[in-house]
Structure 1
């Protein structure tokens, strides 16, 4: 073997070693990059990707709420069907079973999915639907949503006939709401 062939063989060997080291470094980086990317996924992204899925939520002050995830908005989700429908604030969620493995970032959500709890409460006020508002401390406030402010809503409790029948409820105190049957 001539010296040029030996030199080329040495270079080939060094290139193969460098390629092997590059692959080893990449193989070590891929799991770390995946962990870093997953660390950016929030609960809202998982909820938005799970619309249409059956799931079970454990909700502070309520317990388990099971049903189809009908909608997900900014800071809330709608679970159930008909009279068994719940509006659950994401801050009230203690645990979830049944979520999709996927996530849907904010840029890919439709406009209605970007609406906050205030928008949902305003629609309840317009519909004059009686609701039960469940607080984190397990207390329940019932009535019709009258007006909705930036971070609170007012409930009219029909059992009273004076101004004391209005109750102001801050958003941060509520974990979930549900319609209640009239009568």
Structure 2
């Protein structure tokens, strides 16, 4: 073997090693970018990609609710389940199964989907129907929502002379469940 063949053989080997190092470095960089990008994915964006899917949601103080995810907003979602509609506060969600592996970033949401939990409760209050408010500690209130403030909902419990108003801070509400449809 001549010195030219040895030299070209050495260059080929060095080039192969450089390509391997580049490939390893690129793979590590891609994995790092992927992790960094996924760190920006929120529960709400995963839920938005799951609209119309059958999901099971574990809620603090309530347990598991299964149904079809109908709508998602900022800090809440609407689940249709066995004759009931559930407005779930996402801060009370402890687990979700059946969600899409995809994500729909909040930056791409319409302004309607960016409405908060209070806006969803205002719709329930406007309907004027009785509902059950489930709290994160497991207690429940059979009420009719009357007004919604910035960080609480006002509800009327009972009927007639025994009726009383109850103020419920959003942070203690896990879900609002409609009566039978």
TM-score, length-scaled by structure 1: 0.87
Is residue 2:145 matched to residue 1:145? yes
Aligned equivalent of 1:108: 108
Aligned equivalent of 2:167: 168
Deviation at 1:35, TM superposition (A): 2.4
- Conserved 8 A contact 1:134-1:140: yes
- Conserved 8 A contact 1:142-1:155: no
Deviation at 1:129, TM superposition (A): 1.6
In the alignment, structure 2 segments of 5+ residues that lack a partner are none
In the alignment, structure 1 segments of 5+ residues that lack a partner are none
Deviation at 1:79, TM superposition (A): 0.6
After TM superposition, list the pairs within 5 Å mapping 1:15-54 onto structure 2.
15-54=15-54
Aligned equivalent of 1:92: 92
- Distance in 2 (CA, whole Å) between partners of 1:65 and 1:9 is 66
After TM superposition, list the pairs within 5 Å mapping 1:51-66 onto structure 2.
51-66=51-66
- Conserved 8 A contact 1:130-1:181: no
Query: What is the root-mean-square deviation of aligned Cα atoms in Å?
Result: 2.3
1:37 partner SS: helix
1:108-166, CA deviations, whole angstroms, 9 ceiling, x for partnerless residues?
Answer: 2122211111111111111112111000111111211111100001001233527x611
Deviation at 1:36, TM superposition (A): 2.5
- Distance in 2 (CA, whole Å) between partners of 1:121 and 1:161 is 25
- Conserved 8 A contact 1:75-1:116: yes
Aligned length: 181
1:32-62, CA deviations, whole angstroms, 9 ceiling, x for partnerless residues?
Answer: 3322322221111110110010001111111
Deviates more, 1:18-27 or 1:111-120: 18-27
- Conserved 8 A contact 1:131-1:179: yes
Deviation at 1:16, TM superposition (A): 3.2
1:161 partner SS: helix
TM-score, length-scaled by structure 2: 0.88
- Distance in 2 (CA, whole Å) between partners of 1:20 and 1:181 is 63
1:12-31, CA deviations, whole angstroms, 9 ceiling, x for partnerless residues?
Answer: 44333222211121123333
